[in-house]
Amino acid sequence: TQSVEDVTATLKKFGLETIPEAPNTYPALNPVDIFRSHITDLLASVSGIDPKIIYPALQWTQTLDKGDLTLPVPALRVKGKKPIELAAELAEKFPSSPLIEPPVVKDAYLQFFFKPAPLTSIVIPSILKDGASYGFNPAFGLRDPSNPSLGRKKVIVEFSSPNIAKPFHAGHLRSTIIGGFLANLYEGAGWDVTRMNYLGDWGKQYGVLAVGFDKFGSEEELVKNPIGHLYDVYVKISAISRDEADAIKAKKEEIAALQAKNESVEQLESELKKLESGAVDEQARQYFKRMVDGDAEALGVWKRFRDLSIEKYKATYARLNISYDDYSGESQVKDESMEAAARIMAEKGVSEDSEGAVIVDLTKYSKKLGKAIVKKKDGTSLYLTRDIGAAFERFEKYHFDKMIYVVASQQDLHLAQLFKIEEAMGRKDIAERCQHINFGMVLGMSTRKGTAKFLDDILRDVGEKMHEVMRANQAKYEQVEDPEKTADTLGISAVMVQDMKGKRINNYTFDMDRMTSFEGDTGPYLQYAHARLCSIARKSSIPSDLLLSADLTLLREPHAVDLVRQLAAWPDVFLNTVKTQEPTTVLTYLFRMVHALSSSYDHLQVVGSEKELGKARMALYSAARQVLWNGMRLLGLSPVERM
């Protein structure tokens, strides 16, 4: 990787003796830090303004024509002078610098443009040397940046969390994609990350499932396709259960009608009893009771369903570059944890009895939070109860600094209730560390076969569509080695990019045609850009270690300089993403960078250029490929080398 000495040596060439280094900055990791510190030094020396005010006032720009950094002069908080006048005065006084062009005054803003030669000489080697780590900063996750021996902060990212034997719906898809990204983000920021899947794997419906398996299950099918088979079983047995419920209801009505006429109902009563006791619902209740009571056989069956499902899930998640450290689930929450929580809630007056059930009245904190049931009349736990127990267990086990729940905004109330209850129980220490990362809905998610229930179905359908799109260009298609696999990867990218393109909270429409297009801001478009850079590298056949000795001062064309300026911004984009926790922050940047790239090819040819110039350009493309790769990996995509 790039060292401080490397940077110092480069800066010396441009006449700077020491690295400008404001406190808590990372000149070896982030080239822009050097420029920010340098501007701060110069401005402080001519104006007397506190560097601590100047440094954070320097902002990124939306477009390169506004400079690389810009300073809104009012942010300097200088009294008694009009900002516009002060801007002009500061620009006037600004000394000439080996790194920065003279500032441009635009209203009350100063615009700073980095000088191309030093920028290029710092940025490109930095990218080539740091490789897959360029842009990331493991110091962010330190407990105390000034004392690394205190270790790293711990975060749990809980995401995906589907329900066994039920469809994997759009909410789970988004949670999986966004959660995978967040886990990568924290990892890139140096946190100690635990990826957790909290399966919906408990409740009476598992009794229903077991009863159903007895009737309709097939060992062979179960092993072959556990998720699909269990779902089919569940659908069949649920239908029977529904019919039975209807029959019971009808029988009760009959009884009521006879009673109204004062006629004997004995016969019907006994028929009703028979119906009820033989019903799936009752069998399921008894089965689940056995599970709750720890009956080994019942638990064994259920555990098998769970294990086989997890095994299948793992394979599917792997296609999205996701693997979990912890497959937890509602079933794993210990009774003791829930009982302990119940005791605290009762003692602290957080909970109260209500007609045999236990509730928490949260309206005293906020009307919106309503009243929540934490124990049913029959004494059993609920979704919320299990989440309370789980949070305490996780805190005990991991001592997390932060825990993120990646769950659809439909569950905003549920998580707000959870966090408020923790707080009311006197555990603000836990509540404060918890964060709900929510997201909007996917509209119109029907795939081509209209049968998408599981993640695999979705990915298969999009992969097939992508295969079709690829085939449209026969000549190119024939050059792809493994078109099936490539189509699959491109399809996955299409789905993921569409999902992460907008702000998380926005709804979006699942649009197969748009997401699989090579044009517009799509996954395949990013993939195409990556493959093209790989192709340029193959054709140039310059060994990559030679690129480090390229004469980068040859990169003077506006297209080359603008591309370098984009690449320089990546570490700041990462930093900003840590703040926004929005995948769109990364994607917006990548699309902007790739647009700059696309418009460069004609102007910056490698093959056919003079040798040294070709080498310098190849170094630039190689750096661009690296940044694109780093961004795509952060999002969870698998960049392809050919397509």
Residues 6+ away with beta carbon under 8 Å from 545? none
* Residues of this chain, 402-421, that bind ligand ARG according to CB under 6 A: 405, 407
Nearer CB in complex with ligand ARG: 414/642: 414
For residue 428, the minimal CB distance to ligand ARG (Å) is: 19
Nearer CB in complex with ligand ARG: 168/181: 168
For residue 445, the minimal CB distance to ligand ARG (Å) is: 15
- Cα(201)–Cα(210) distance, rounded to whole angstroms? 12
Nearer CB in complex with ligand ARG: 114/234: 234
For residue 109, the minimal CB distance to ligand ARG (Å) is: 45
| Start-end of H helices in 261-349 | 266-278, 280-292, 296-319, 335-347
* Residues of this chain, 540-599, that bind ligand ARG according to CB under 6 A: none
For residue 405, the minimal CB distance to ligand ARG (Å) is: 5
Nearer CB in complex with ligand ARG: 163/576: 163
Of 331, 413, 424, 311, give the one whose Cα is nearest residue 370: 413
Secondary element (H or E) of residue 60: strand 59-60
Q: Contact 642/527 with Cβ under 8 angstroms?
A: no
Of 133, 125, 104, 116, give the one whose Cα is nearest residue 10: 125
Q: Contact 458/319 with Cβ under 8 angstroms?
A: no
The reply to whether 387 sits near ligand ARG by the rule CB under 6 A is yes
| Token duo for residue 36 | 């920010």
Nearer CB in complex with ligand ARG: 172/530: 172
For residue 404, the minimal CB distance to ligand ARG (Å) is: 11
- Cα(481)–Cα(224) distance, rounded to whole angstroms? 29
* Residues of this chain, 450-489, that bind ligand ARG according to CB under 6 A: none
The DSSP bridge pattern shows strands 508-509 and 351-354 to be unpaired
The residues with which 163 forms a beta bridge, in sequence order, are: 200
Question: From the candidates 115, 166, 402, 453, which is the catalytic residue?
Answer: 166
Concerning whether 603 is annotated as a catalytic residue, the answer is: no
Nearer CB in complex with ligand ARG: 407/624: 407
Residues that contact ligand ARG, how many (by CB under 6 A): 8
The residues with which 404 forms a beta bridge, in sequence order, are: 157, 435
The reply to whether 161 sits near ligand ARG by the rule CB under 6 A is yes
For residue 588, the minimal CB distance to ligand ARG (Å) is: 28
Q: Stretches 122-130, 157-165, 294-302, 553-561: which one binds ligand ARG (CB under 6 A)?
A: 157-165
Of 454, 202, 179, give the one whose Cα is nearest residue 324: 179
| Token duo for residue 469 | 């799109």
Question: How many alpha carbons fall within 13 Å on the CB side of residue 153?
Answer: 20
Concerning whether 334 is annotated as a catalytic residue, the answer is: no
The reply to whether 241 sits near ligand ARG by the rule CB under 6 A is no
Q: Stretches 156-164, 292-300, 423-431, 620-628: which one binds ligand ARG (CB under 6 A)?
A: 156-164
Concerning whether 172 is annotated as a catalytic residue, the answer is: yes
The DSSP bridge pattern shows strands 434-437 and 402-406 to be parallel
| Start-end of H helices in 551-610 | 558-580, 583-598
Torsional sign, CA 545, 549, 555, 561 = positive
The reply to whether 392 sits near ligand ARG by the rule CB under 6 A is no
Of 103, 125, 107, give the one whose Cα is nearest residue 115: 103
The reply to whether 200 sits near ligand ARG by the rule CB under 6 A is yes
The DSSP bridge pattern shows strands 109-112 and 104-106 to be antiparallel
Q: Stretches 7-15, 98-106, 155-163, 240-248: which one binds ligand ARG (CB under 6 A)?
A: 155-163
* Residues of this chain, 12-41, that bind ligand ARG according to CB under 6 A: none
Nearer CB in complex with ligand ARG: 387/488: 387
Amino acid identity at 109: Y
Closest chain position to ligand ARG (CB)? 200
Residue 111 in 3-state DSSP? strand
Nearer CB in complex with ligand ARG: 251/306: 306
Exactly one of 198, 317, 327, 400 binds ligand ARG (CB under 6 A); that residue is 198
Exactly one of 47, 59, 61, 163 binds ligand ARG (CB under 6 A); that residue is 163
Q: Which residues bind ligand ARG (CB under 6 A)?
A: 158, 161, 163, 198, 200, 387, 405, 407
Residues designated catalytic: 166, 169, 172
